[in-house]
Structure 1
Amino acid sequence: MSPHALLVAGAAFLLAGCGATEETAPETAAPVTQQSELIAACVDTEELAEAAEHSCTHAEYGPFESVTAAPLGGPSFVDVSVEHTAYNVTLPAITYQRWTLGYAGSVIFTPEESTEYAFLTSGYRAVRVVNAATNEEVGLECHYSVPQEVCGSLRSAVTADLEGGIDYRVDFAAVVPQAASFLLVIEETGHAHSEE
């Protein structure tokens, strides 16, 4: 299998149930894993709304950092672990001959403490979280569509329980016509934000 075919297959795997609509879902069957099934909508949204509201401040006022994600399938050294930072992430293109089919890439996130985290983005992106050392997928808890009245800059969030001090590879994918770049803010949702 060519490297291009592997990238396309990897992106199709990410998109198999992580926000892809019926019009954009690939016709071929992707391997069934926890991440390729549809992620349930979050039921308890009070903490997520607070996290989104706090993250919105960073999405609108910074501090900002621009990063280019590593190509999907290879090692990633692009770190997005600095707290209270809005990352402008650019994903590498997935191309076939002269056509751009979509964008996919990986970043590394190392949480300071063990708790639930929300990965908030300015657009809808397929997301997969993997323990970088063991290559084991971390189950995403739920998906939260950020209401416009909570934050106009962030549209979507997925949550996952992560262990402090562990490096996690976070894979993102998007299909054309979605843009290659998006805003990412990672926020703890496991406790109140009153100290911030």
Structure 2
Amino acid sequence: MSKPKHPHALIAAVFLLAGCGTEEAPAPESQAPVTQQSELLAACQDTEELAEVAEHSCFHAEYGPFESVTAAPYGGPSFVDVSVGHTAYNVTLPAIAYQQWTLGYAGSVIFTPEESTEYAFLTSGYRAVRVVNAATNEEVGLECRYNIPQEVCGSLRTAVTADLEGGIDYRVDFAAVVPQPSTFLLVIEETGHDHHEE
């Protein structure tokens, strides 16, 4: 009896510690209340502006430029930078395993915005997201979630927005539970400028 057949409690504990959950057919155990769960965010109200951001980001998601990165393991320092604008990052998250089971994936990247404004983190799959000031370890409140309609962009599924300060390093944590894949596409875009200039 020392080896659990279904380590659901462990899955919940891992994502409780990670401050993340799941959105696709979540098991009841994975819905433990945690701070800043991105899937519990209110829907964005300004969908017209976000649709424009998603359309612009979709161009990069489909045509690049692309860069592949492996996120740093969750909980440790991250030096994996995703700050280059107008770039689609193919992010691979490290596995969270228990004995022979892979329970999910979680990892961190660093984003340093050039300007102080609102940014959208657009992803090709549903991922739990948390943004933290890398210097102070203070969590940044996410503003809202935008589910990207298929007719706006077939390559990106969802976006979360946050107000960030220029020149500050932010650690962006992502998590997903099995059966979601470990790899996803990430485009980070300002929401407050003309998205068709580049």
Q: After TM superposition, is the score higher than 0.5?
A: yes
Q: Is the 8 A contact 2:12 2:29 kept in 1?
A: no
What is the distance in 1 between the residues matched to 2:58 and 2:32?
Answer: 37
Deviation at 1:190, TM superposition (A): 1.7
Moved more, 185-194 or 91-100: 185-194
Structure 1 unmatched ranges of 5 or more: none
Structure 1 residue 136 corresponds to structure 2 residue 141: no
Which secondary structure does the structure 2 equivalent of 1:15 belong to? coil
Report 1:46-125 matches (<5 A): 46-125=48-127
Which secondary structure does the structure 2 equivalent of 1:82 belong to? coil
Structure 2 residue identity aligned to 1:78: V
What is the distance in 2 between the residues matched to 1:162 and 1:130?
Answer: 10
Structure 2 residue identity aligned to 1:14: G
Q: Is the 8 A contact 1:7 1:72 kept in 2?
A: no
Structure 1 residue identity aligned to 2:19: L
Per-residue Cα deviation, 1:98-118 (whole angstroms, up to 9, x for no partner): 100000000000000000000
Q: State the TM-score, normalized to the length of structure 1.
A: 0.89
Identity %: 80
Report 1:1-196 matches (<5 A): 9-12=13-16, 13-16=18-21, 19=23, 21=25, 23-26=26-29, 29-30=32-33, 32-35=34-37, 38-196=40-198
Aligned length: 189
Deviation at 1:10, TM superposition (A): 4.7
Structure 2 residue identity aligned to 1:87: Y
Structure 2 residue identity aligned to 1:19: E
Deviation at 1:46, TM superposition (A): 1.0
Alignment correspondent of 2:4:
none
User: Compared with structure 1, are the counterparts of its residues 126 and 37 closer, same or farther at alpha carbon in structure 2 (3 Å cutoff)?
Assistant: closer
What is the distance in 1 between the residues matched to 2:83 and 2:105?
Answer: 22
